[in-house]
Amino acid sequence: MPVGRRRDGLISARKVAGFTQEGLADVLHVDRSTVARWEAGDYVPLPYLWPKLASVLGRSRDELQALIGPSAGTREFNPDDSFEPVFTWLDRRAGWPLGRAREQVYASAAASSRNRPNPPRSVIADALADYYAPPTSDHRPYVARCGQVEVTTTVLTRPAWLDLACSLTPTGEHTAFEGGRARPSAVVDERAAVQRLADAAASGIRITDVPLYRLLEVDPQPGALRAKVGIASFVEYALGVDLLERELIEYLASGRTARPGHMPLRDRQLPDVSAVLDLPGRLCAGGVLALTAIARPADPFRGDADFVLLVQTRSAQVVNTADRLSVIPKSFHGPLADRRADARIGVTLRRELEEELFGRTDVDRSAGDLRVADPMHPTRLSAPMRWLTDQPGRLRMECTGFGLNLVSGNYEFASLVVIEDEAFWPRFGGDVEANWEAAGLQQYSTLDGELITELIGDENWSNEGLFAFLQGLRRLAEIGGDRVEFPAVELGC
């Protein structure tokens, strides 16, 4: 539906009901600019606002959604608009005349396949274990067992980086932004970059020119997390080190064995474990991902009181781990409005809860330029997040482990989000809704050990998602009490 029709529909409905923009904003307890953005077609209302908005405008929810837009999603994605800064960056990096990158990308996009190889997770893990063998005495791929299921991942870690139980609060986390440090020059293969953008344009993958944090130093310890981060460009990452995943998957899809000396991009950028551990000497971008566990009261149909665990299937529009299982939220670590204040892992995690589970589209960094001075100001929070932050103890966020992902060298802060007040689910459970980054959302009960064990063995996991899931389960077993009944997750060698 064209944006103009959505705008006219909402304006007409508002005027028929006798509301000005200011009046509708007062009734719904939002600011006037939010109503203006709905009418402009930039954003749609958050999930919890649809019933009340429909009621005050005298329409059914279905009628109102037909006027504003088909679903509570985000703005339509236009590759031409999103990729323009990316094309400019590649032209400059390659020394091409402006416009050359666009021409090459769209010439290649016509022949690009939308069907990307998606080998089993364990195949990727085994291939990288062979490539980086033998491991160092202290750093090894993360291995865990649950019941009869044992898994090895691509996450390089060490015992001191696991089971951190570090509260993501100002007292437990000390992640500092450090500006001005020299950045390593970008390593870009222009041919591979053009093909990557062609595939993205053909498949609707979002690649935008936004800032990312790069990890400079890290010292994770039980109960305390210290790190230093600098700044980098997402384009530099997406067209540089992130291409190592594509190279590896294509190599495996051809039936070849991953060996040093046979994969040019990896051999040049991450040839060995020492290169992976050299954080200041390379672009080490990364992510914050968390297992979300929400307490539920006993139910006559479902059973005893438990935690519901949320697991997503990543959509085809995300840059990496498309169509894979993962915990939710899962995000790149990057600033939104304040590079220094946003550096904390806990800040990214709160923002991603708002975006990926509570429907906030105005904190989506891929949607365009930010126009709000303080996106996480208390007056802008969704109703579920406002309720969680109104009283101490309603929301627990902890870092459960740290590792470096051998796929692209990313850093991974595995975390756990626990909502322990069981009043939340009856009140806001219907407002929990994944955003465009997820193709589907499934729930699992912490009382169903059989299904959880089966889920751990699913080959469609992303390696970092499984790492965060397993570390989250280990911590839940310690703090969950009678709400938790599943086999112990034991760490391997």
Per-residue pLDDT of 121-167, as tens digits, reads: 999 999 999 999 876 668 999 999 999 999 999 999 999 999 999 99
Specify the pLDDT at position 95.
92
Q: Does 3 fall in a domain? A: no
Question: How much is the pTM?
Answer: 0.85
Residues 54 and 84 in one domain: no
**The residue count for the chain:** 493
The C-alpha atoms of residue 133 and residue 156 are separated, in whole angstroms, by 12
At 299, which CATH number? Answer: 3.90.79.10
List of residues 6+ apart from 73 with CB closer than 8 A: 44, 361, 435, 436
Q: Does 73 fall in a domain? A: no
Residues 54 and 86 in one domain: no
Residues 58 and 92 in one domain: no
Residues 284 and 427 in one domain: yes
List of residues 6+ apart from 157 with CB closer than 8 A: 139, 140, 141, 142, 401, 402, 403, 404, 467
The C-alpha atoms of residue 421 and residue 386 are separated, in whole angstroms, by 14
Radius of gyration of the chain, Cα coordinates, nearest whole angstrom: 23
Amino acid letter for position 163? D
Q: Does 249 fall in a domain? A: yes
Specify the pLDDT at position 108.
82
Residues 64 and 85 in one domain: no
Specify the pLDDT at position 69.
58
Residues 29 and 142 in one domain: no
Cβ atoms of residues 327 and 469 within 8 Å: yes
Q: Does 437 fall in a domain? A: yes
The C-alpha atoms of residue 21 and residue 32 are separated, in whole angstroms, by 6
Which domain, by its residues, includes 410? 79-491
Residues 18 and 105 in one domain: no
Single residue among 68, 90, 115 that ends a domain in this structure: 68
Q: Please report the DSSP string for 261-301 in residue order.
A: TS-HHHHHH--SHHHHH-STTS---EEEEEEEEEEE--BTT
Cβ atoms of residues 84 and 369 within 8 Å: no
List of residues 6+ apart from 289 with CB closer than 8 A: 326, 327, 329, 330, 331, 412, 413, 414, 415, 464, 465, 468
Specify the pLDDT at position 41.
66
Single residue among 68, 94, 114 that ends a domain in this structure: 68
Q: Does 294 fall in a domain? A: yes
Residues 434-464 as b or e (16 or more Cβ within 10 Å = b): bbbbbbeeeebbbbbbeebbebbeeeebbbb
Q: What is residue 168's three-state secondary structure? A: coil
Residues 153 and 47 in one domain: no
Residues 55 and 98 in one domain: no
At 17, which CATH number? Answer: 1.10.260.40
Residues 245 and 326 in one domain: yes
Residues 51 and 124 in one domain: no
Residues 351 and 214 in one domain: yes
Q: Does 74 fall in a domain? A: no
Q: Which helix (H) or strand (E) holds 398?
A: strand 395-405
Counting Cα atoms < 13 Å in the Cβ hemisphere of 108 gives 18
List of residues 6+ apart from 52 with CB closer than 8 A: 27, 28
The C-alpha atoms of residue 418 and residue 294 are separated, in whole angstroms, by 6
Q: What is residue 138's three-state secondary structure? A: coil
Specify the pLDDT at position 217.
96
Nearest to 101 by CA among 117, 111, 112, 90: 90
Specify the pLDDT at position 73.
38
List of residues 6+ apart from 296 with CB closer than 8 A: 302, 305, 306, 307, 308, 422, 425, 429
Q: Does 235 fall in a domain? A: yes
Counting Cα atoms < 13 Å in the Cβ hemisphere of 298 gives 4
Per-residue pLDDT of 188-241, as tens digits, reads: 899 999 988 888 877 778 788 889 999 999 999 999 999 999 999 999 999 999
Q: What is residue 307's three-state secondary structure? A: strand
Specify the pLDDT at position 35.
78
Record the tokens describing residue 351, joined without a space: 């923002």
For the chain, 493 residues long, give each residue's pLDDT as a single digit of tens: 333 344 567 787 787 777 888 888 777 766 676 777 777 766 667 655 677 788 888 887 777 777 765 443 333 434 556 688 889 999 998 999 998 998 888 888 766 665 677 899 999 999 999 999 876 668 999 999 999 999 999 999 999 999 999 999 999 999 999 987 777 777 789 999 998 888 887 777 878 888 999 999 999 999 999 999 999 999 999 999 999 999 999 899 888 888 899 999 999 999 999 999 999 999 999 999 999 999 999 999 999 999 999 999 999 888 888 899 999 999 999 998 899 999 999 999 999 999 999 988 888 877 666 778 888 999 999 999 999 999 988 999 999 999 999 999 999 999 999 999 999 999 999 999 998 899 999 999 999 999 999 999 999 999 999 999 999 999 999 999 999 999 999 998 5
Single residue among 16, 43, 68 that ends a domain in this structure: 68
Cβ atoms of residues 493 and 311 within 8 Å: no
Specify the pLDDT at position 39.
76
Q: How many domains does the chain have?
A: 2
The C-alpha atoms of residue 145 and residue 15 are separated, in whole angstroms, by 61
Q: Does 2 fall in a domain? A: no
The C-alpha atoms of residue 147 and residue 92 are separated, in whole angstroms, by 53
Given the structure tokens 């908005």, which residue do they identify?
53
Three-state helix/strand/coil letters over 203-220 = HCCCCCCCEEEEEEEEEE
